[in-house]
């Protein structure tokens, strides 16, 4: 009897269970992507920005708010990362791009 009850509950709530788990999956993916992008910003950008005053140091807390200017500098003006030796590889560019597009920027 109790098995039957569980089955009925599962059956009637199946959609909600699936929806909330895909929702959580997508949140986890976003968090994971953000961490990976932070790793790129920290290794390929911060080392240089940290050398002079008044340049932004990207952190997990502030990176989203800089996404528009990062897009501008990296993909539109192509001024960053500065220096011939500091190019991003394709995987890094792609990650950065996916992250920028995942944010609800105007």
Q: Write out the two tokens for 54.
A: 């008044």
Give whichever of 4 and 106 is closer to ligand HEC, judged by the CB atom: 106
Q: Is 63 in the site for ligand HEC (CB under 6 A)?
A: no
Judge whether 80 and 69 are in contact, CB under 8 Å. Answer: no
Q: Which is nearer to ligand HEC, 73 or 102 (CB)?
A: 73
Q: State CA 83 to chain mean position distance.
A: 24
Contact 61, 94 (CB under 8 A): no
Site string for ligand HEC, 3-42 (x = CB under 6 A): --------------------------------------x-
- 86 near ligand HEC (CB under 6 A): yes
CB-wise, 23 or 47, nearer to ligand HEC? Answer: 47
Q: What is the largest distance, in Å, between two alpha-carbon atoms of the chain? A: 71
By CB under 6 A, tell whether 69 contacts ligand HEC: yes
Distance, CA of 1 to chain centre: 47
R_g of the chain, CA atoms, integer Å: 20
Binding site for ligand HEC (CB under 6 A): 41, 44-45, 48-49, 55-56, 66, 69-70, 73-74, 79-83, 86, 88
């Amino acid at each position: 009897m109790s098995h039957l009850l569980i089955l009925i509950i599962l059956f009637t709530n199946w959609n909600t269970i699936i929806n909330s788990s895909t929702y959580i999956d997508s949140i986890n993916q976003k968090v994971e992507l953000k961490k990976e992008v932070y790793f790129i910003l920290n290794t390929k950008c911060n080392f240089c920005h940290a050398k002079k005053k008044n340049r932004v140091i990207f952190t997990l807390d502030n990176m989203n708010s800089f996404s528009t200017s990062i897009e501008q500098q990296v993909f539109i003006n192509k001024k960053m990362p500065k220096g011939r030796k500091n190019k991003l590889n394709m995987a890094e560019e792609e990650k950065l791009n996916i992250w920028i597009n995942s944010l609800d920027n105007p």
